Structure 1
Amino acid sequence: MSDSHMNDDDDFSFLVKKALEMGAADAKIIPASHICVEDRVALKCKSGCISYGKKLTCPPYVPTPDQFRKIVSEYQYALLVKYLSPAVAEPDIICSIYRYWLDPKAPEDKKRKAQDFWTDHFNGTKNFSPMMLELERLAFNAGYTFALAFMNGSCRLCETCNVEKGLCLHPTQARMTEHAVGINMKKTAEAAGMPIRFPVIGHPELMALLLID
């Protein structure tokens, strides 16, 4: 960070204000050293995510947790942003949302409710990524040239990612998701005083992050 920038949260108040103006439920500046990076988070991607290996913004095409620890140590601050999904699912549906959504043997009524949830969620959260990109742009233009946004959830810019050719078709818009590089957002948010409700009750709480320097 250049000497012209103050080393306190007030210096980033414009980012917090903009995040709230764009619809964030909460936003807070935290020291980058408070970002919790764990190997087991990326392991969870490999063992349970349908996007693993299918998107260039997901493992194994992104920095490993060990590599990302070194990267994040070069940053001083981060903006933590919380959004609320407009989707709501009944407790007995949300607790097994992927099974009811993907399992062809799932009961039809539960499959329909799971599909309705994801339709509402994807339609209602499609603007969250552009919001984070706008925050990244604002930070960059304010002199924080290494500002970099991370998204909640895997990239949805293309119906099928250009993985086979190894070249992203939307490099100015596509960003990695936090857990892909090992960020434990649950721990990071809790330490920042912005805990995420889990198990989900009502509207899912989504977290995104902007590295600043």
Structure 2
Amino acid sequence: MIISDDNYRLLEKKSRELGANSVKLIPARDIIVENRTILKCIFGCNGYGSQVCPPFIPEVEDFREMLREYEWVLLVDWKSENLFSKEISENFIKYSIIPPEDKNTKQQYADTLKTVIKERKERIQPGSIELEKFAWGLGYNTALATFPGMCTWCANNDYSEVNCAGSNGACHHPTIRRPCIMGLGIRLDKTLENLGIPLKKFPMDDTIPSQYTLILLE
């Protein structure tokens, strides 16, 4: 399906209204998918077990076949105010298991985590869903949004934790649940590198990390 210039401009305008820095339309064939990607989900990700991650989403090989049925993908770069210090950047996963002993570092980690959860729940996830819905209205009936990581719909009121049903029961928000990019096997780093788009990499030092989602269009 052709994405007309008019439709692209409408998608771009809508994205900015929803809180995106920028968008880029790329051929679906340029999305790199690797089976090994989900090893980083299963081993080393504190979001594993969320119902937008394996084993609750299509397996990598199945998704690879599904992706071949899409022609275009909208790459969305979302705004963020979450500044990662070097200390928090290097120990983000560790501190989710073993809190830092230093009081200031402990507070800094808590503040960073809260901002991650808050931005995903209030901007990135609803914005991605709205873009998907908007694309439907333009005639892209199989448009599908993705999330940047674990789902945060079930975050508590102060954004200190997420109470996902996980394997304990059905998703609390099934109609607005969308798959995690990495959980599908997508190598966003390689995809962006091949497109000539710089990706801010960990560890960081007083840096705002990139916040990308993909909207599959067909």
Compute the TM-score of the two structures, normalised by the length of structure 2.
Answer: 0.86
Does the C-alpha gap of structure 1 residues 190 and 19 become closer, same or farther in structure 2, counting only changes over 3 Å?
farther
Shift of 1:11: 4.0
Number of the residue aligned with 1:131:
127
Superposed CA deviations along residues 140-184 of structure 1, whole A, max 9, x for unmatched, are: 11111100000112111222315333x323122111111011111
Q: Distance in 2 between matches of 1:78 and 1:120?
A: 27
- Whether 1:19 aligns to 2:15 is yes
Number of the residue aligned with 1:186:
189
Does the C-alpha gap of structure 1 residues 125 and 57 become closer, same or farther in structure 2, counting only changes over 3 Å?
closer
Q: Distance in 1 between matches of 2:39 and 2:101?
A: 27
Identity %: 33
Partner amino acid for 1:212? L
Number of the residue aligned with 2:176:
173
Compute the TM-score of the two structures, normalised by the length of structure 1.
Answer: 0.88
Shift of 1:190: 2.6
Number of the residue aligned with 2:158:
none
In the alignment, is the contact (CA less than 8 A) between 1:26 and 1:82 conserved in 2? yes
Number of the residue aligned with 1:36:
32
Number of the residue aligned with 2:76:
81
Larger CA deviation: 9-18 vs 33-42: 9-18
Write out aligned runs for 1:51-200 (5 A). Answer: 51-52=47-48, 54-104=49-99, 106-126=101-121, 127-158=123-154, 159-161=163-165, 163-165=167-169, 167-199=170-202, 200=204
Structure 2 runs not aligned, ≥5 long: 155-162
Would you say how many aligned residue pairs link Structure 1 and Structure 2?
A: 207
Q: Distance in 1 between matches of 2:57 and 2:179?
A: 8
Give the counterpart of 1:207 among 181, 203, 212: 212
Partner amino acid for 1:79? L
In the alignment, is the contact (CA less than 8 A) between 2:46 and 2:93 conserved in 1? no
Q: Distance in 2 between matches of 1:108 and 1:7?
A: 52
Q: Distance in 2 between matches of 1:10 and 1:189?
A: 25
Shift of 1:96: 1.4
Shift of 1:139: 0.7
